[in-house]
Amino acid sequence: MNQYIVETLLGLIAGTFYGITGILPAGLLLIFFDFLNIGNYKSNLGAISLLNLFPISLGAFFNFYKTNNINFAMGFILFFSILIGGFIGSKLVVDKEFQLSKKTIDYISSGLGFIIGILFLISAQRH
Domain boundaries, the chain: 3-126
Residues of the chain with pLDDT below 70 are 1, 53-54
pLDDT value at residue 77: 92
Q: Fill in the DSSP letter of residue 39.
A: S
pLDDT value at residue 53: 62
Buried b (16+ CB within 10 A) or exposed e, 11-49: bbbbbbbbbbbebbbbbbbbbbbbeeebbeeebbbbbbb
3 state SS of 38: coil
